Amino acid sequence: MQPEKNSRQPDSVAQIKSRAGRIRKFLKNRYPATETPLIYGTSFQLLVAVILSAQCTDRQVNRVTPTLFRQLKTPADFAGARLKAIEKLIRSTGFYHNKAKNIKNCARIILDEHRGRVPRALDELVALPGVGRKTANVVLGAAFGIPGIVVDTHVARISGRLGLTENKDPVKIEFGLMEIIPKTEWSDFCLRLIFFGRETCAARKPKCPVCGLHAICPYPDKTKAL
């Protein structure tokens, strides 16, 4: 009987770390710049932008935030704004009712409990409305230079395809990647994976024939032609 297509012997920790090192080197050479594409001026504005990016592209968020941040700049501005006014400004990012409510409540809590400053601790960030570990780690890395593993759909998909994790749960993926990626590279590595996912390793039609990681990628369903 022929073995199933997806069956293979699990890699050792040493093999996974070795592959991760080659992947890191490739991604660093390909994407030397690792600044978030989101447009913002302050840490609070970054937090707002990341909340808006849920189920929305960075490009669309960047179309919305210049006007948004001209009218509402600070936590006090958002906390004092009418909910309908916030909704109108962010409507095109989708799910604007919940996003507006979460942003307004975030602003209020930051004013009341954090003296108007975005907290720099993950546990305090995830306690804010609409802020999960992914959003918190983006803010910590981009605004404060505190490394974090950001697990979005690209990072989850590609780390699985490249054999860096067998987990599907984002939190388990996050902690697994923390074990094989140097801490100083956590934020940059994830952002580079996101860039790579958008450019090459797409969800439906990955560009495997032109992928620079093709030779070390164990993904069993590689595309043979573009």
pLDDT surpasses 90 at 8: no
Catalytic entry in 99, 104, 152, 188: 152
152 is catalytic: yes
Smallest CA-to-CA distance from 183 within 175, 192, 195 is with 175
pLDDT at 3 over 80: no
Q: Looking at residue 22, what DSSP letter applies?
A: H
User: 158-185: per-residue pLDDT in tens?
Assistant: 999 999 999 999 999 999 999 999 999 9
Alpha-carbon torsion 49, 50, 51, 54, what sign?
Answer: positive
- Predicted pLDDT of residue 12: 84
* Residues 123-148, mean pLDDT to the nearest whole number: 97
> 20 CB contacts (<8 Å, ≥6 apart)?
164, 180, 181
Lookup: tokens for 85:
């006014």
Could you tell me the domains of the chain? 13-34+149-216 (1.10.1670.10), 43-144 (1.10.340.30)
Catalytic residue, candidates 28, 134, 172, 188: 134
d(CA 33, CA 197): 16
Q: Does 134 participate in catalysis according to the annotation?
A: yes
Give tens-digit pLDDT for 34-53: 999 999 999 999 999 999 99
Model confidence at 76: pLDDT above 90:
yes
Q: Is the pLDDT of residue 4 over 50?
A: no
Residue 133 burial (CB count, 10 A) = 17
* pLDDT confidence tier of residue 13, bands split at 50, 70 and 90: confident
Name the pLDDT band for 224 (thresholds 50, 70, 90): confident
Mean pLDDT of the chain: 94
The helix (H) or strand (E) run that includes residue 119 is none
Closest CA to 52 of 34, 40, 70: 40
Q: How far apart are CA 27 and CA 90, in angstroms?
A: 33
Is the pLDDT at 199 greater than 60, yes or no?
yes
